[in-house]
C-alpha cells in the first residue's frame, strides 16, 4: 500500500529569511510611494518655519558654518527617523487585525527574521527622505559634506532599527487595545525629541532639562549628527552617538525578537 507523503518546506537560514521579510516590507513602500512623499511635508514645514527663526540665535551661525541650517537640518533628519520608525508598529497592528500577521507566523520563516527584516526595512525610506531633505536645503545655504552625511545616515539607520523594533514590540503588546499603542508612542516621542535638543539648544534651558537630557540616547545621536553634518569627523561626540545607536538597536532587537517569539495572535 502506497504511503502519501507531503512535501516538506525547504529550510532556509536566518539571513535568507531576513532578506525575504525585508523585501516583502519594502514592496509595500514601492506600491504606495505617496505615503513616503506625504511624510516629507512635516519636516519641510519645520525646516521652512523654524530655520529662519533660529538664524537669529547667538552662537549657532558661528559654530556650525555660518548658517542656522547647519545646526537645524540634522535635527530635522533625526525627527524624520523618529516619526517614521516609531510609527511602524501601526502597520503591524493593521496586519494583526486583518489576520495577515497570523498567517505569517504560520510560515517556516524564523521569528527572529520576521523582526529583524521588518526593522531593517526602516533604513530604506530613511535614506531616501534624508537625502531629499538635505538636497532641498542646499540652495538655502546648507553646505553639503557627502562623506560625513553618509556616516550620519549610517548612525541614524542603526538607531532607527532599534526604534522600529521597539515599535513593533509595542504593537504586539497592545494588539488587543489599539489606542494603547498610540498613547504610549505619543507620550514618549515628543519628550524624547524636545529633551534631545533637536529643535532648540538645551544650553539655554533650565538645569533639570540639561540633566535629564544626559539620560536620553537621542541627545547623543543628535549631537553626533550636528557635528557630522558640519563637516567634522574627529569629535568624540560622534563615537558617543554611535554607541547610543548601537545600544538602542541591541535593546530594541532583543525586546522585539522576544515579543515576536512569544506572540500568539
- Quickly tell me which residue has 525586546 as its cell: 255
Q: What is the pLDDT of residues 137-157, one digit of tens each?
A: 888 778 888 899 999 989 998
Closest CA to 200 of 42, 50, 40: 50
120-131 mean pLDDT: 78
Q: What is the pLDDT of residues 63-97, one digit of tens each?
A: 444 567 788 888 888 888 888 888 888 888 888 88
- For 104, 176, 182, 188, the CA distances from 98, given in Å and listed in that order, are 12, 13, 19, 27
All 3 cell numbers of residue 197?
A: 535638543
Residue with more model confidence, 189 or 110 = 189
Residue with more model confidence, 42 or 117 = 117
Q: What pLDDT sits at residue 265?
A: 52
Domain boundaries, the chain: 34-48+64-261
Q: What is the pLDDT of residues 14-30, one digit of tens each?
A: 778 888 888 887 787 77
pLDDT above 90 (res 33): no
All 3 cell numbers of residue 28?
A: 509595500
The 10 Å CB-count burial string (b at 16+, else e) for 88-101 is: bbebbbeebeeeeb
Close Cβ partners of 106 (under 8 Å, ≥ 6 residues apart): none
Helices (H), the chain: 14-31, 33-38, 41-54, 60-63, 68-86, 89-98, 100-105, 111-120, 123-137, 146-173, 178-194, 207-213, 217-229, 236-261
Q: What pLDDT sits at residue 108?
A: 77
Q: What pLDDT sits at residue 12?
A: 59
117 with 257: CB under 8 angstroms?
A: no
How crowded is residue 264: how many other Cβ atoms within 10 Å of its Cβ? 7
Query: How far does CA 160 lie from the centroid of its chain?
Result: 3
Write down the pTM of the prediction: 0.81
Categorize the per-residue pLDDT at 58 as very low, low, confident or very high, splitting at 50, 70 and 90: very low
The rounded distance, in Å, linking the Cα atoms of 234 and 148 is 11
Amino acid at each position: 500500500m502506497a504511503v502519501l507523503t507531503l512535501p516538506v518546506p525547504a529550510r532556509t537560514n536566518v539571513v535568507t529569511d531576513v532578506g525575504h521579510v525585508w523585501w516583502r516590507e519594502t514592496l509595500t513602500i514601492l506600491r504606495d510611494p505617496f505615503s513616503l512623499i506625504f511624510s516629507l511635508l512635516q519636516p519641510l514645514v519645520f525646516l521652512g518655519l523654524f530655520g529662519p527663526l533660529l538664524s537669529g540665535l547667538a552662537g549657532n551661525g558661528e559654530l556650525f558654518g555660518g548658517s542656522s541650517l547647519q545646526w537645524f537640518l540634522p535635527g530635522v533628519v533625526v525627527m524624520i527617523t523618529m516619526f517614521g520608525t516609531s510609527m511602524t508598529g501601526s502597520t503591524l497592528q493593521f496586519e494583526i487585525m486583518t489576520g495577515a500577521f497570523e498567517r505569517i507566523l504560520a510560515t517556516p520563516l524564523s521569528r527572529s527574521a520576521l523582526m529583524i527584516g521588518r526593522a531593517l526595512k526602516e533604513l530604506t525610506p530613511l535614506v531616501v527622505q534624508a537625502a531629499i531633505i538635505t538636497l532641498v536645503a542646499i540652495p538655502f545655504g546648507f553646505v553639503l559634506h557627502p562623506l560625513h552625511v553618509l556616516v550620519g545616515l549610517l548612525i541614524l539607520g542603526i538607531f532607527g532599527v532599534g526604534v522600529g523594533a521597539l515599535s513593533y514590540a509595542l504593537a504586539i503588546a497592545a494588539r488587543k487595545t489599539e489606542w494603547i499603542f498610540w498613547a504610549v508612542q505619543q507620550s514618549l516621542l515628543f519628550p524624547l525629541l524636545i529633551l534631545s535638543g533637536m529643535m532648540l539648544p538645551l544650553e539655554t534651558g533650565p538645569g533639570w532639562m540639561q540633566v535629564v537630557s544626559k539620560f536620553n540616547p537621542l541627545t547623543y545621536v543628535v549631537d553626533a549628527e550636528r557635528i557630522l553634518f558640519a563637516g567634522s569627523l574627529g569629535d568624540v561626540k560622534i563615537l558617543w552617538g554611535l554607541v547610543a545607536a548601537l545600544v538602542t538597536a541591541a535593546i530594541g532587537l532583543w525586546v522585539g525578537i522576544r515579543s515576536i517569539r512569544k506572540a500568539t495572535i
